[in-house]
Amino acid sequence: MKIYSCFPDGKAKALTMSYDDGKHADERLVAIFNKYGIKGTFNLNYGLMERPERIEKDKIKALYDGHEIATHTMTHPTLARCPMTELAKEILADREGLESITGCPVRGHAYPNGSYNEEIKQLFKSLGIAYARTACFESGSFELPADPMEWNGTCHHKRHLMEYAREFADFKKPQYLKCMYVWGHSYEFDNDDNWELIEEFCAFMGSRDDIWYATNIEIIDYMKVCRELQFGAAGDFVYNPSAADAWITVDEKIMRIGGGSLVRFKEEGGIQ
């Protein structure tokens, strides 16, 4: 019997997007994402929202509805140059401010200026951050992060975006879980006068039956649910101690393992 974890509905591929700073160009970007059913994570600086180029506080909750709002610190400092006490204030104040807008926990992060180190990773983790995206290294791959506090995206949208998109779309090996992660700043499309790039990408990648469209935190939380599945030593049952559902394949048969349920397998991969 061959058992694999998979993304929701038995999918083996996920697409996630990550955009920083919360400037007005996000409004156009969110509209494109919504048009094609793509989800994004938007990393915001609560302490800079009064600046004229930033999305107004009273518009944020409605604009990013269906997407994720994540931290980017209060004032966008270069983290590795700052005292740790200041970094704790930066991340906690940003979380508190963003949570006052969203009304729910804000647990994601993107390192400003791509600056971080091991001490910063551990500090942010202790302050409720579940993952953090880098900016100084791109993996060029579709691997899930080995360390969620050092999540390297597949690519910035300026670099080989459509080449990666076609490679990802063509990947057909369901025995692997793959994730394409694109990041950037929406105002770059204004600066470079190339909104057609992200429109082309989203039109090409959107509405595919074999891709799970997810925010960063949805992927992190879902993979935790999968890791916590408890399989019998003989491989004949699985218990899901989490409240959330998980999906697996048993001899290529897709199975949903409901939160809090124990499921026994038949030899042919069915349910007893």
The 10s digit of each residue's pLDDT in 116-136 is: 999 999 999 999 999 999 987
Residue 223's pLDDT is 97
Kindly state whether residue 270 falls inside one of the protein's structural domains. Answer: no
Please report, for the domain that includes residue 173, its CATH number: 3.20.20.370
- Burial class (CB within 10 angstroms; exposed 0-12, middle 13-18, buried 19+) of 80: middle
Give DSSP secondary structure letters for 102-117: HSS----BB-GGG---
The DSSP code for 154 is: S
Largest pairwise CA distance in the chain: 63
Residue 158's pLDDT is 95
Residue 138's pLDDT is 83
Q: Whole-angstrom Cα distance, residue 219 to residue 34? A: 19
Residues of the chain with pLDDT under 50: 268-272
Residue 271's pLDDT is 45
| Residue range of the domain that includes 156 | 12-223
Single out the residue of 4, 54, 2, 1 nearest to residue 248, CA to CA.
4
Do 75 and 97 form a contact (C-beta atoms < 8 A)? no
143 and 254 together in one domain = no
Residue 268's pLDDT is 43
The 10s digit of each residue's pLDDT in 158-181 is: 999 999 999 999 999 888 999 999
Q: Which amino acid belongs to residue 67?
A: H
Question: What domain count does the chain have?
Answer: 2
150 and 243 together in one domain = no
Sheet holding 262-264, edge to edge: 230-231, 237-239, 262-264
210 and 239 together in one domain = no
Residues 6+ apart with CB under 8 A from 167: none
162 and 52 together in one domain = yes
How confident is the prediction for the chain on average, in pLDDT?
A: 95
